[in-house]
Chain A
Amino acid sequence: MLPIVPTDFTPWASLAGGILIGLSAVMVMAALGRIAGILGITAGAATGPDRDWRIAFVGGLLAAPLLWALVTGGFPAQVVGGNLPWMAVSGLLVGIGTSLGSGCTSGHGVCGLARLSGRSLAAVVTFMAFAALTVFVLRHSGGV
Chain B
Amino acid sequence: MRAAAGFLAGLVFGLGLLLSGMANPAKVLNFLDVAGAWDPSLAFVMGGATVTAFVGYRLAWRRARPILMPSFDLPTRRDIDRPLLAGAALFGIGWGIGGFCPGPAWTALPMVAPGTLVFLPAMLAGIWLGRRAKAAPLMQGA
Contact = CB atoms under 8 A, between A and B. Distances in A.
Which secondary structure characterizes the binding site on chain A?
helix
Nearest to A140: B35
Contact of A15 (B29, B48, B121): B48
Interface in B30-55: 30, 32-37, 39-42, 44-54
Contacts of B99: 2, 80-81
B41 to A, nearest CB: 4
Contacts of A62: 14, 106-107, 109-110
A23 to B, nearest CB: 6
A23 B12 contact: yes
A29 B27 CA distance: 29
B111 A22 contact: no
Contacts of B47: 15, 18
Q: 10 tightest A-B contacts by CB? A: A95-B126, A60-B10, A17-B20, A101-B87, A22-B52, A64-B14, A99-B130, A18-B48, A130-B92, A134-B96
23 contacts: A2-B98, A4-B29, A7-B37, A11-B40, A15-B44, A20-B20, A26-B57, A67-B15, A80-B113, A90-B97, A92-B94, A95-B125, A95-B129, A95-B130, A96-B91, A97-B92, A98-B102, A105-B95, A114-B53, A126-B92, A128-B92, A131-B92, A133-B96
